[in-house]
């Protein structure tokens, strides 16, 4: 079986990493032949997070479009196309319509409410090229929709999806190393020391009239009693 994965982001992008890239080792183990083609390369993804640089972004977008169209030129040799979000980020779903016409089995994966158009923080021009109706048409065109949660799956069904399944966003537990339990008492002692340092710093920087009550607080019996209560509390917690 040969699968073409068309992702929006490189592995640095959380959406593509959690929805596609983290599963690739399991496909290798199962003997699935696949190719991954990301619309954004790492350089374009890093640049997209920064405001400005309109010319450089335009050049990257043109190069990304060329790479995506080159990958689609050979899509007929694959048994399945897996779309992680839209095939092209802007404009009508032309490629999804072609997949339907060419009868290439297609899966559309989405983990966000793409049909709700949110203003771009860095590129306001792109807002006019996006449409919620576009996403709903894609949901109808593909053979199966993989949704990140049950609510998104229900919205796909409402839009007319032929089939919809829920695939929750998962974390690879092999990547998560459990930290050793921390000493609660020592952590609290460090925090109290930092708080005392902040109070003393405030006392030193304030006026003489304002310094006097703070210093009295730090040196008073009441402050000592409070510290003793903190000590007793934290010892009982750690026990």
What is the per-residue pLDDT across 47-57, written as a single tens digit (0 to 9) for each?
Answer: 877 777 788 88
Mean pLDDT of 2-29: 91
Residue pointed to by tokens 């209560």: 229
2-175 CATH: 3.40.50.2000
* pLDDT for 217 beyond 80: no
d(CA 121, CA 50): 10
Using H for helix, E for strand and C for coil, what is the string for 118-163?
CCCCCCHHHHHHCCHHHHHHHHHHCCEEEECCHHHHHHHHHHCCCC
Backbone phi and psi for residue 4, each to the nearest 5 degrees, phi listed first: -110, 115
Tokens of 203: 């006392």
Bridge partners of 6, per DSSP, are 37, 83
Least confident among 21-25, 39-43, 96-100, 180-184: 180-184
- How many Cβ atoms are within 10 Å of 83's Cβ, its own excluded? 24
* pLDDT for 231 beyond 50: no
Residues 87-106 have pLDDT tens digits of 888 778 888 998 898 899 99
Helix (H) or strand (E) holding 208: helix 208-219
Non-local (6+) Cβ contacts of 111 within 8 A are 15, 18, 19, 147, 148, 149, 152, 169
Specify burial of residue 215 (Cβ count, 10 A radius: 0-12, 13-18, 19+): middle
| Share of residues in the chain with pLDDT > 90 (%) | 28
Per-domain boundaries in the chain = 2-175, 184-238
* pLDDT for 6 beyond 90: yes
pTM: 0.68
């Amino acid at each position: 079986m040969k699968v073409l994965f068309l992702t929006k982001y490189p592995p640095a992008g959380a959406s593509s990493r959690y929805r596609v890239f983290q599963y690739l080792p399991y496909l290798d183990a199962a003997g699935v032949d696949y190719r991954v083609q990301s619309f954004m390369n790492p350089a374009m993804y890093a640049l997209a997070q920064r405001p400005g640089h309109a010319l450089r972004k335009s050049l990257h977008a043109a190069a990304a479009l060329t790479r995506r169209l080159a990958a689609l030129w050979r899509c007929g040799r694959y048994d399945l196309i897996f779309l992680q979000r839209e095939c092209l980020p802007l404009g009508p779903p032309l490629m999804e319509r072609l997949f339907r016409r060419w009868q290439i089995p297609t899966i559309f994966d989405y983990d966000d409410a793409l049909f709700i158009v949110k203003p771009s923080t860095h590129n306001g021009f792109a807002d006019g090229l996006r449409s919620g109706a576009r996403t709903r048409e894609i949901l109808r065109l593909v053979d199966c929709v993989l949704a990140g949660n049950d609510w998104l799956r229900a919205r796909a069904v409402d839009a007319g999806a032929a089939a919809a399944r829920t695939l929750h966003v998962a974390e690879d537990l092999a990547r998560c190393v459990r930290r050793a339990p921390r000493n609660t008492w020592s952590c609290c002692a460090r925090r109290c020391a930092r708080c005392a340092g902040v109070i003393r710093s405030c006392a030193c920087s304030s006026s003489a009239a304002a310094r006097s009550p703070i210093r009295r607080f730090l040196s008073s019996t009441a402050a000592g009693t409070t510290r003793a209560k903190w000590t007793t509390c934290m010892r009982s917690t750690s026990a």
